[in-house]
């Protein structure tokens, strides 16, 4: 989902009354970022508090390539990483993930092996295949065992876009909250529906309701669901004791055409890119009685901060034996401070530091939308947008003289500041040491997204026997995955 | 100012707390349009309730050219037009314009000749000249006489952008309101500041305050001023008896670079064009006790509706001897209805009907950003944006097969609907008769913006003698004005 997909962030059809109300009752963070313009690495960063280049969610098969966890991926989240639910156990938190996991689908990588107590959802994304001939349909798990597969027990009608998955996910979330409330246990719910990902789906009640087409229908259903969760917390009178944070894992994909594309508002390009459209995210923090209502905070922040902030709020010391990339947002959320004015945002694509934001300035060290080869095939990450020398189809290096934009004056990254100005030189002299320090001290994790193999696919997930849904596992034939962009 | 310049419409720096609050206390109209992507014709349409092609605010010197009222223009608003303040007199309304007039600067065209009772402001835009050598500096009028000139008595510091004009305009507005309140007279205030027009200015208190640079400073000062006006109405306890409508005359100009450009949010291109960025406007209606707070209405509406609506609210019959292009928005504003689902929006550029919107669909009959000649000189009305076949640099005709977009699904006008679809044929069959009927019945007014002459400039405006500010009028040398885009 994109920054511009919420009414409160300027979506012209204003179809997110619950999220808009959540912002009115809480804090809006217009400068909030993901850690990567793609799902798996972004989610890995959220749950580890570390950049994908540290936690291993990247590839070295080629420079600056986005990589994720399709079915043929061999790797997943490393056992060396300490995920947020594991940390939260220290203070007795019970954790559940509802929806898409995306940190690896082989048994050792699944949520319950990594600190979560419960899971209802799928290990991979819900797009194809739509039958099991060459690749198995994605399994849906209830905790440690599959309970069916997408397009089989869990229908998504490819023609109408109808699916009740978001409603199922909503019920799973509400039920989890209620059980923890009854048991008076502290809890962490990671509610991660994927309805806005192509093929976009919504349940019958929402289909056709939006001015925006099917994508808007899905957004409306997500908005409705968030509203239900918030009112559930109020009904149980635990709203004043619960921080709710809404965000997305990457900017809206713009390649899917008008029916299935979201909006990145005034920002450049979308998912897969390190322009603002790919990495600036909608973000709302809600905590009645603790977060002042109707506030806006311009602190530069990102998903990794949620790891550190959650630990701070739970009174748990963060792991001391590793670099964390998040900061504690407690003063921002609870005291409306802007405590980290010099906190940089790093924009990575795979193993390459593409850009850095400091204050209002963003310096691009590399620019790339996608390859000429893909672009000529019609794959366009910036449809209708073209900024000469910026949305390049070659991996263009600017490391000696980065392209610098003032994002306050030029949120669309259209007017690079002239290198001849004092402003440029001043900014560069402030950003350069930060980049040098970052690169010098960076110890990349072992890349987990390099190898692929048909044998690792979801042929026979745990629980398949009971259901009679085990498929024959083909012979292992590993290869280096190809990541085109 | 552009659709995307308000926080409530998605401006990332969220610097319009007063306008955002105005929306929260009133009604937001996300589908509100101007009548022309340029100032003079747009303002003429607002005050006459008629399209520029009817009220004469266009040129026939070349096809589809934007024209306005610079100093060398001979024409102005025709005596045959009945402006809103003239109509309102029937019920005893006192009317004042504060700020830019732009309907002609020769004596017969000025506000007090056209129904206004009071005026404080300038007949033309505040950009150059900056001395009186080749062209006189623009006079500032208090009612019928000039009281000084821009860059002389009324300073705009071209280097710092400092000017207290908006504050002067605010005081003029508040004073007018108070006097009518004291006299218990109904009133119409047309408050038309021009601070966001290049060269953008703001007063000292606001300079440097915005995250967006000088343009943002000016927006913040306008926002502050609107807030002051609203709280003034409340203080005088006439807020429940006063409709306040906020909008702009055209989309943000994008040619001025990052320091002086506004934002059109997710829309295509800007001022001068008939894409959404040029003509969709921010719009907020406010009337405590009458307009329900926090409402959003998607009725397609435009500035000409304000003429008809104002008359309806004042209980005055509209003139019956002419075609009006506005509709009565009373049911929309007061009853939250969407009463005119089949009401079209016409997008004109000069004398050419470029596009028509009906419901969610917009059909482009002609596309043009600007000429190759201008574009190659660096004049770009769509910087960073390029939609092949849409943002054309030739005047491209599509009258036989219009380009059709679904603005709900594709607000950025990037994905024309395939002519081979049933959707396209259905839409075309609904729009075509509307266009045919419109063209057949249209009687264009006498074009007022064809002739130019240096002799008509503001050399010796009324009142110049008293001030010793009369300049020598050169010999008349009329020519056909050149309108490049
Ligand atoms: Ca995603
Ligand atoms: Ca204007």
> Between chains, do A408 and B213 touch, taking CB under 8 Å as contact?
yes
pLDDT reading at A46 higher than 90:
yes
Query: How many residue contacts between A and B have a Cβ separation below 8 Å?
Result: 116
- Distance, in Å, from the CA atom of B142 to the CA atom of B111, rounded to the nearest integer, reads 11
Average the pLDDT over B444-459 and give the result. Answer: 98
pLDDT reading at A120 higher than 90:
yes
pLDDT reading at A129 higher than 90:
no
Min Cα distance A4 → chain B (Å) is 7
Task: Name residues whose C-beta falls within 8 Å of residue B389's C-beta, 6 or more positions apart in sequence.
Answer: B367, B396, B403, B416
Taking contacts as CB-CB distances below 8 angstroms, the residues of chain B near A382 are none
Average the pLDDT over A81-96 and give the result. Answer: 98
Residue pair B69/B40 in contact (Cβ under 8 Å)? The answer is yes
Q: Which of B213, B263, B386 sits opposite A384 (nearest CB)?
A: B386
Residues 324-383 of A with CB under 8 A from B: 360, 383
Q: Which of B211, B268, B411 sits opposite A360 (nearest CB)?
A: B211
Strand partners for B346: B356
In the prediction, which pLDDT does B243 show? 98
Task: Specify whether A269 is catalytic.
Answer: no
In the prediction, which pLDDT does A282 show? 98
Average the pLDDT over A225-245 and give the result. Answer: 98
Q: Enter the DSSP assignment of B477.
A: -
Average the pLDDT over A131-160 and give the result. Answer: 95
Residue pair A453/A135 in contact (Cβ under 8 Å)? The answer is no
Q: Where are the domains of chain A?
A: 7-343, 348-441
Does the bond joining B129 to the residue before it have cis omega, within 30 degrees of 0? yes
Residue pair A307/A426 in contact (Cβ under 8 Å)? The answer is no
Helices (H), B184-267: 214-235
Nearest residue to B64 (alpha-carbon basis) of B372, B374, B378, B394: B394
Backbone angles phi, psi at B174, to 5 degrees: -65, -40
Q: Is the pTM of this model over 0.90?
A: yes
In the prediction, which pLDDT does B132 show? 87
Nearest residue to B352 (alpha-carbon basis) of B56, B68, B43, B66: B66
In the prediction, which pLDDT does B339 show? 86
- Chain A interface mutation, best of B214, B216, B256, B266, highest count of A Cβ atoms under 10 Å: B266
- Distance, in Å, from the CA atom of B435 to the CA atom of B421, rounded to the nearest integer, reads 21
Residue pair A18/A293 in contact (Cβ under 8 Å)? The answer is no
In the prediction, which pLDDT does B140 show? 98
Q: Which of A3, A384, A414 sits opposite B383 (nearest CB)?
A: A414
Taking contacts as CB-CB distances below 8 angstroms, the residues of chain B near A268 are 384
Q: Which of A383, A408, A412 sits opposite B13 (nearest CB)?
A: A408
Min Cα distance B267 → chain A (Å) is 8
- Distance, in Å, from the CA atom of B364 to the CA atom of B414, rounded to the nearest integer, reads 12
- For A264, which residue in chain B has the nearest alpha carbon? B266
Nearest residue to B454 (alpha-carbon basis) of B431, B481, B427: B481
Q: Which residues of A240-261 are buried (b: 16+ CB within 10 A; e: fewer)?
A: eebbbbbbbbbbbbbbbbbbbb
Which band of pLDDT confidence, cut at 50, 70 and 90, is reported for residue B122? very high
- Distance, in Å, from the CA atom of B366 to the CA atom of B392, rounded to the nearest integer, reads 9
In the prediction, which pLDDT does B66 show? 97
If residue A21 lies in a helix (H) or strand (E), which one and from where to where?
helix A17-25
Which ligand sits closest to the CA of A195? 1
pLDDT reading at A328 higher than 90:
yes
B258–chain A Cβ distance below 8 A for any pair? yes
- Higher-pLDDT residue of B129, B381: B381
In the prediction, which pLDDT does B40 show? 98
B300 three-class SS: coil
How many percent of chain A have pLDDT more than 90? 96
- Distance, in Å, from the CA atom of A481 to the CA atom of A315, rounded to the nearest integer, reads 41
pLDDT reading at A366 higher than 90:
yes
B399–chain A Cβ distance below 8 A for any pair? no
Taking contacts as CB-CB distances below 8 angstroms, the residues of chain B near A414 are 258, 383-384
Task: Specify whether A105 is catalytic.
Answer: no
In the prediction, which pLDDT does A257 show? 81
- Distance, in Å, from the CA atom of A291 to the CA atom of A230, rounded to the nearest integer, reads 14
> What spacing in Å lies between the alpha carbon of B251 and ligand 2's midpoint?
8
Q: Which residues of A176-185 are buried (b: 16+ CB within 10 A; e: fewer)?
A: bbeebbeeee
> Between chains, do A414 and B28 touch, taking CB under 8 Å as contact?
no
Catalytic residue among A39, A125, A269, A452: A39
Which band of pLDDT confidence, cut at 50, 70 and 90, is reported for residue A256? confident
Nearest residue to B150 (alpha-carbon basis) of B162, B138, B132, B159: B138
Residue pair B370/B485 in contact (Cβ under 8 Å)? The answer is yes
Min Cα distance B207 → chain A (Å) is 14
- Chain A interface mutation, best of B13, B283, B336, highest count of A Cβ atoms under 10 Å: B13
Residue pair A74/A56 in contact (Cβ under 8 Å)? The answer is no
Q: Which of B257, B266, B410 sits opposite A266 (nearest CB)?
A: B266
Domain A7-343 fold is Alkaline Phosphatase, subunit A (3.40.720)
pLDDT reading at A259 higher than 90:
no
Residues of B with a catalytic annotation lie at 39, 102
For chain B, the maximum distance between any two Cα atoms, rounded to a whole number of angstroms, is 70
How many percent of chain B have pLDDT more than 90? 96
Domain B348-441 has CATH 3.30.1120.10: yes
Task: Name residues whose C-beta falls within 8 Å of residue B38's C-beta, 6 or more positions apart in sequence.
Answer: B66, B67, B68, B249, B250, B271, B272
How many percent of chain B have pLDDT more than 70? 100
Residue B257, number of CB atoms within 10 A of its CB: 16
- For B263, which residue in chain A has the nearest alpha carbon? A266
**Low-confidence winner among A120-134, A307-321, B191-205, B442-456 (lowest mean pLDDT):** A120-134
In the prediction, which pLDDT does A51 show? 98
Nearest residue to A279 (alpha-carbon basis) of A20, A6, A37: A37
CA-angle at A308, arms to A303 and A314, nearest 5°:
125
Strands A295-296 and A27-28: parallel
- Distance, in Å, from the CA atom of A139 to the CA atom of A107, rounded to the nearest integer, reads 13
- Distance, in Å, from the CA atom of A285 to the CA atom of A300, rounded to the nearest integer, reads 14
Residues 464-483 of A with CB under 8 A from B: none
In the prediction, which pLDDT does A401 show? 98
pLDDT in tens, B241-252: 999 999 999 999
Average pLDDT, chain B: 97
Nearest residue to A450 (alpha-carbon basis) of A60, A76, A65, A77: A60
In the prediction, which pLDDT does A48 show? 98
> Between chains, do B384 and A412 touch, taking CB under 8 Å as contact?
yes
Task: Name residues whose C-beta falls within 8 Å of residue B432's C-beta, 6 or more positions apart in sequence.
Answer: none
A21 conformational bin, left if phi > 0, alpha if psi -120 to 50, beta if neither: alpha
Which band of pLDDT confidence, cut at 50, 70 and 90, is reported for residue A402? very high
Which residue reads 């009548």 in tokens?
B35
- Distance, in Å, from the CA atom of B356 to the CA atom of B279, rounded to the nearest integer, reads 12
> Between chains, do B10 and A13 touch, taking CB under 8 Å as contact?
no
- Distance, in Å, from the CA atom of A249 to the CA atom of A302, rounded to the nearest integer, reads 10
Average the pLDDT over B364-379 and give the result. Answer: 97
Average the pLDDT over B1-18 and give the result. Answer: 97
pLDDT in tens, B187-217: 999 999 999 999 999 999 999 999 999 999 9
> What spacing in Å lies between the alpha carbon of B158 and ligand 1's midpoint?
47
Residue pair B162/B201 in contact (Cβ under 8 Å)? The answer is yes
Q: Which of A28, A211, A410 sits opposite B258 (nearest CB)?
A: A410
Nearest residue to B163 (alpha-carbon basis) of B215, B202, B207: B202
Nearest residue to A334 (alpha-carbon basis) of A300, A301, A285: A285
Average the pLDDT over B134-158 and give the result. Answer: 96
A425 three-class SS: helix
> Between chains, do B385 and A383 touch, taking CB under 8 Å as contact?
no
- Distance, in Å, from the CA atom of A222 to the CA atom of A225, rounded to the nearest integer, reads 5
Helices (H), B187-338: 214-235, 276-279, 303-314, 330-335
In the prediction, which pLDDT does B256 show? 80
If residue B396 lies in a helix (H) or strand (E), which one and from where to where?
strand B396-397
Tokens describing residue A320: 């001391």
In the prediction, which pLDDT does A70 show? 97
pLDDT reading at A211 higher than 90:
yes
Strand partners for A190: A97
Residue A463, number of CB atoms within 10 A of its CB: 18
A384–chain B Cβ distance below 8 A for any pair? yes
Min Cα distance A32 → chain B (Å) is 11
Q: What is the CA radius of gyration of chain A?
A: 21
Average the pLDDT over B93-110 and give the result. Answer: 98
Average pLDDT, chain A: 97
Min Cα distance A361 → chain B (Å) is 11
């Amino acid at each position: 989902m994109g920054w511009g997909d919420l009414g409160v962030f300027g979506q012209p059809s204003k179809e997110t009354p619950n999220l808009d109300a959540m912002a009115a009752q809480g804090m809006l963070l217009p400068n909030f970022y993901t850690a990567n313009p793609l799902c798996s690495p972004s989610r890995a960063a959220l749950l580890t508090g570390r950049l994908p280049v540290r936690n291993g969610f990247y590839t070295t098969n080629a420079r600056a390539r986005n990589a994720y966890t399709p079915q043929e991926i061999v790797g997943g989240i490393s056992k060396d990483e300490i995920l947020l639910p594991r940390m939260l156990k220290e203070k007795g938190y019970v954790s559940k993930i509802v929806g898409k996991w995306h940190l690896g689908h082989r048994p050792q990588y699944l949520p319950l092996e990594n600190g979560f107590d419960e899971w209802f959802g799928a290990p991979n994304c819900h797009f194809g295949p739509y039958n099991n001939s060459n690749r198995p349909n994605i399994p849906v798990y209830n905790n440690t065992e599959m309970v069916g597969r997408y397009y089989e027990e869990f229908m998504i009608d490819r023609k109408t876009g109808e699916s009740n998955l978001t409603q199922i996910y909503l019920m799973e979330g509400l039920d989890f909250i209620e059980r923890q409330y009854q048991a008076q246990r502290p809890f962490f719910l990671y509610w991660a529906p994927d309805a806005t990902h192509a093929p976009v789906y919504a349940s019958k009640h929402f289909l056709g309701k939006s001015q925006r087409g099917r994508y808007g229908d899905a957004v409306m259903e997500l908005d409705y669901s968030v509203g239900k969760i918030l009112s559930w917390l109020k009904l149980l009178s635990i709203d004043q004791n619960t921080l709710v944070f809404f965000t997305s894992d990457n900017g809206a994909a713009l390649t899917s055409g008008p029916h299935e594309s979201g909006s990145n508002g005034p920002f450049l390009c979308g998912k897969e890119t390190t322009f603002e459209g790919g990495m600036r995210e909608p973000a709302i923090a809600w905590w009645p009685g603790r977060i002042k209502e109707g506030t806006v905070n311009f602190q530069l922040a990102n998903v990794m901060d949620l790891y550190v902030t959650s630990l701070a709020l739970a009174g748990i010391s963060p792991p001391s034996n590793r670099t964390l990339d998040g900061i504690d947002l407690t003063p921002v959320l609870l005291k409306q401070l802007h405590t980290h004015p010099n906190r940089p945002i790093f924009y990575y694509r795979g193993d390459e530091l593409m850009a850095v934001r400091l204050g209002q300035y963003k310096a691009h060290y590399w620019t790339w939308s996608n390859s000429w080869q893909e672009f000529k095939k019609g794959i366009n990450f910036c449809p209708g947008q073209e900024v000469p020398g910026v949305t390049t189809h070659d991996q263009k290096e600017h490391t000696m003289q980065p392209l610098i934009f003032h994002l306050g004056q030029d949120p669309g990254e259209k007017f690079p500041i002239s290198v001849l100005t004092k402003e440029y030189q001043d900014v560069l002299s402030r950003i350069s040491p930060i980049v040098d320090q970052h690169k010098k001290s960076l110890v990349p994790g072992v890349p987990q997204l390099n190898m692929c193999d048909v044998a690792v696919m979801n042929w026979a997930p745990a629980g398949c026997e009971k259901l009679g849904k085990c498929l024959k596992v083909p012979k292992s034939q590993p290869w280096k995955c190809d990541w085109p962009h």
